[in-house]
Amino acid sequence: MKKQLLCMLLALALLCALLPAAALAAPVGLVKLSVDVPMAGQTPSEVAPAVIAGDVHVYAYDWRCDGEKLSNYFDKFELGKTYTLVIVLSSSGEFSAQSTATYINELGTANEIIDAHSIRLRRDFTVTGVMLNDLDVTLPPATAGTKLSKVAEYGVIEGTEGAVVQAIFWRLNGEEQRVNTFFKAGETYEAFVRLYALDGYRFADPLRVRVNGETPYEIVSTGEYATFRLEVTSTAQAKTADAVNATVDAPKTGETPAESAGIFGGGGFGMVNSSDTVPWDYYRNGLAWYDETAQAPLRFDEAFQGGHSYSVSLHFKLYDGYEWPEPSLHRINGKAPASVDAQGDRLTLRYTFPALPEAKTLTSIKIQTPPVRTEYLVGELFDKTGMVVLAVYSDGSEEAVTGYTLSPAGALSESDKAVTVSYSDGTVTVTETTPIAVTAPKKTLVSIAVTTPPAKTQYTAGQSFDPAGMVVTATYSDQSTAAVTGYTVTGAALAESDGFVTVSYTEGTVTVTALQPVTVQAKEEKTDGEKKDGEKTDPKKANPFADVNETDDYYDAVIWAYYAEPQVTNGITATQFGPNSTVTRGQAATFLWRAMGCPEPKSSVSKFEDVQDPNYYYYKAVLWAVEQGIAKGTDETHFTPEQTCSTAHIVTFLYRTMGIGADGWYEVAEAWAQGAGLLKGMSAAVAPGVDCPRAGVVQLLYRALGA
């Protein structure tokens, strides 16, 4: 065991010997610090000395005087005294007497190495500043009637920015005077004045002070503060106060009295804001109101009444050292008051306002101008445009009003012969009527649709159409619908080429039609050389597509679409039909247009920004489909011909092409297609999110138009 320990110690010693010199702590060389020089009157700075040079950190610092530490909050530097700044530095490097040199404010300092990574610095500072020896203080004269002040702005120290007048305390006959009281004429006051020396300044001791050219007594200097006393005699001559120039809001019917007056000028007097004898309800801020008509004082929570006359009295008091001017000079609202009563230092002015007019009341309303529109259809709302309503008052005055209500406020009916106009001023409600005429709208036939297909839709050529079970529903201009029976069906005998029959219905002068799909098969005449059972396609019509087999349920539809006149569609290549490829909106419109015989559209100009080339294959097809209401744009200016069609789109387009009905989205079209047998055997669901393959499109077209 001892042998193993010895080996470990030897290995450790060898490792230490192999360590490079760079792994040892670097010596700390030059260190420079910057500190604020102490000034008289300042407290020690809370800001740590700044490191200018050297990889060191200020660990601690403090100021000392005669070995005692100074407080950053309570102690202040005194002028002429010497203070020691002690700073402790730390470093990851190594301090040494040989390599470390320390400076504070560019002067070398004594230092004491505490250990390899910490050092203590000391530097003495003697506090400097400006000594104030001679002061000239100016105080304003003690004029009778002016306010005593205790604020510093009352006095000014001439010739220095190092001191201010901090406070003044006044005594009269040994009693301290309250702030903002007034000098009494001819009295002698004692003023106790306190001065304050700003940072960097101190008052000398002894201190010479002159106040308004005279020497005060009891001058005391503590360095930071200086105080003295002096006697001031106020002027004995009274001054003439300003004439009262006041404004008071005039009474208004229904409002409460003004609680204060506006005073312009006002030198030498003030308002008597409270009364020891008059209750608060009747006297506020030097004002009191009186109802001259009722011969009674008016409370401040009472409202002025129409037909009454009111007066207001304003109460004032002179400041000491002032006397009232000539009574004729006083004004209230720019006019001489009704009465002026000056008793010593008190003044009461009474002003009477003109009587208020009698209060007017709402008596009625009248419709000065009737509304522009007076004739309506059932269900419409009354239109007040152009109607002018006047409120009529008891004093004969009239005033246009708009805050009225209307009845009925909702949809009008045939029984409504007039509209009632109601108006209220908050107290009285009055009404008036304006005549109207309401009639039921004339409904006209708009369209018909086969809402329930007939029981029989499969026929043999030569048979007649059987409408049994078929329900035809008419739609009218008022959006109402009704089942009708007086319709006619075209065609006495059905031919193999018939894909639908036309249902016609007439009311009055309006005739509308709808298409009912049918399937008509040729008569079975089994003769040699003609089709046998199970044959669906003319053997002369060869199948050009390698991806379409005779076993496919869409085989007949593809061959029909390829050989139809005009051709409904060819393949995606010469030999590929692409039965599972998707169909775009432009292709779908083109298939339908071709299947219907390529009818010429009424317009040759497209409103869609993305359908502008007349030479493009779907240009006429899109114009025709939009004109017929079969398809719409995706917005007002775009058809989006390259958008993939869903099964819901295709069934709806076909439904609209057949003219079965114009209302409803794909749910209605799907119900029709299901009833007509168009969806039998098809695997793709009818939904907006299900893409319709090419095989599905031609199969639907074939069953509806070509089978």
Q: How far is residue 426's CA from residue 362's CA, in Å, rounded to a whole number?
A: 10
Q: Is residue 4 part of a domain?
A: no
Banded model confidence at residue 319, pLDDT cuts 50, 70, 90? confident
Q: Are residues 248 and 344 in the same domain?
A: yes
**Range in 25-34, 121-130, 382-391, 424-433 with the lowest mean pLDDT:** 121-130
Q: Is residue 5 part of a domain?
A: no
Q: Are residues 383 and 464 in the same domain?
A: no
Mean pLDDT of the chain: 85
Q: Are residues 270 and 341 in the same domain?
A: yes
Report the pLDDT value the prediction gives residue 526, as an integer from 0 to 100: 40
What average pLDDT score do residues 28-37 get? Answer: 91
Q: Are residues 700 and 585 in the same domain?
A: yes
Q: Are residues 229 and 245 in the same domain?
A: no
Banded model confidence at residue 515, pLDDT cuts 50, 70, 90? confident
Banded model confidence at residue 669, pLDDT cuts 50, 70, 90? confident
Report the pLDDT value the prediction gives residue 491, as an integer from 0 to 100: 66
Residue after which a domain boundary falls, among 105, 126, 147: 126
Q: Is residue 18 part of a domain?
A: no
Contact residues for 640 (Cβ-Cβ < 8 A; gap 6+): 585, 610, 633, 634
Mind giving me the DSSP string for 192-212? EEEEEEPTTEEEEEEEEEEET
Q: How far is residue 315's CA from residue 42's CA, in Å, rounded to a whole number?
A: 53
Q: Is residue 138 part of a domain?
A: yes
Rounded to 10°, the helix 555-563/694-701 angle is: 80
Contact assessment for residue 600 and residue 620, using Cβ atoms and an 8 Å cutoff: yes
Q: How far is residue 22's CA from residue 19's CA, in Å, rounded to a whole number?
A: 8
**Residue 600: is its pLDDT beyond 60?**
yes
Dihedral sign of CA atoms 167, 170, 174, 180 in order: negative
Q: Is residue 652 part of a domain?
A: yes
pLDDT tens-digit readout, 550-593: 999 889 999 999 998 888 898 888 889 999 999 999 999 999 99
Q: Are residues 500 and 598 in the same domain?
A: no
Report the pLDDT value the prediction gives residue 91, as an integer from 0 to 100: 94
Report the pLDDT value the prediction gives residue 465, as an integer from 0 to 100: 86
Phi then psi for residue 562, to 5 deg, are -75, -40
**Residue 19: is its pLDDT beyond 60?**
no
Residue after which a domain boundary falls, among 233, 268, 284: 233
Range of the domain at 629: 555-706
The structural domain count of the chain equals 6
Query: What residues are paired with 147 via a beta bridge?
Result: 182
Q: Is residue 185 part of a domain?
A: yes
CATH number at residue 510: 2.60.40.3630
pLDDT tens-digit readout, 233-265: 887 666 788 999 999 999 999 999 999 999 987
- Is the bond into 408 cis (omega within 30 degrees of 0)? yes
Q: Are residues 449 and 507 in the same domain?
A: yes
Q: How far is residue 686's CA from residue 646's CA, in Å, rounded to a whole number?
A: 8
Residue after which a domain boundary falls, among 233, 264, 294: 233
pLDDT tens-digit readout, 637-664: 999 999 999 888 888 888 888 776 555 5
**Residue 675: is its pLDDT beyond 60?**
yes
**Range in 128-142, 406-420, 679-693 with the lowest mean pLDDT:** 679-693
Q: Is residue 469 part of a domain?
A: yes
Q: How far is residue 168's CA from residue 193's CA, in Å, rounded to a whole number?
A: 5
* CA 180, chain centre distance (Å): 50
Q: Are residues 57 and 105 in the same domain?
A: yes
Report the pLDDT value the prediction gives residue 55, as an integer from 0 to 100: 92
Q: Are residues 254 and 112 in the same domain?
A: no
**Range in 89-98, 313-322, 495-504, 538-547 with the lowest mean pLDDT:** 538-547
Q: Are residues 418 and 491 in the same domain?
A: no
**Range in 158-162, 544-548, 597-601 with the lowest mean pLDDT:** 158-162
**Residue 440: is its pLDDT beyond 50?**
yes
Q: How far is residue 579's CA from residue 515's CA, in Å, rounded to a whole number?
A: 29
Greater confidence (685 vs 531) lies with 685
CA distances from 286 to 122, 261, 336 (A): 71, 8, 18
Banded model confidence at residue 42, pLDDT cuts 50, 70, 90? confident
**pTM of the complete model:** 0.31
Report the pLDDT value the prediction gives residue 559, as an integer from 0 to 100: 93
Q: How far is residue 236's CA from residue 23's CA, in Å, rounded to a whole number?
A: 92
Q: Is residue 396 part of a domain?
A: yes
Contact residues for 455 (Cβ-Cβ < 8 A; gap 6+): 466, 468, 469, 470
Q: Are residues 699 and 583 in the same domain?
A: yes
Banded model confidence at residue 5, pLDDT cuts 50, 70, 90? very low
* Of the candidates 312, 293, 329, the residue with the CA atom closest to the CA atom of residue 248: 312
Q: Are residues 634 and 607 in the same domain?
A: yes
Report the pLDDT value the prediction gives residue 684, as an integer from 0 to 100: 67
Greater confidence (142 vs 423) lies with 423
Sheet holding 445-452, edge to edge: 445-452, 471-476, 481-484
pLDDT tens-digit readout, 329-376: 999 999 999 999 988 788 999 999 999 988 788 999 999 999 999 999
**Residue 417: is its pLDDT beyond 50?**
yes
**Residue 527: is its pLDDT beyond 50?**
no
**Residue 68: is its pLDDT beyond 60?**
yes
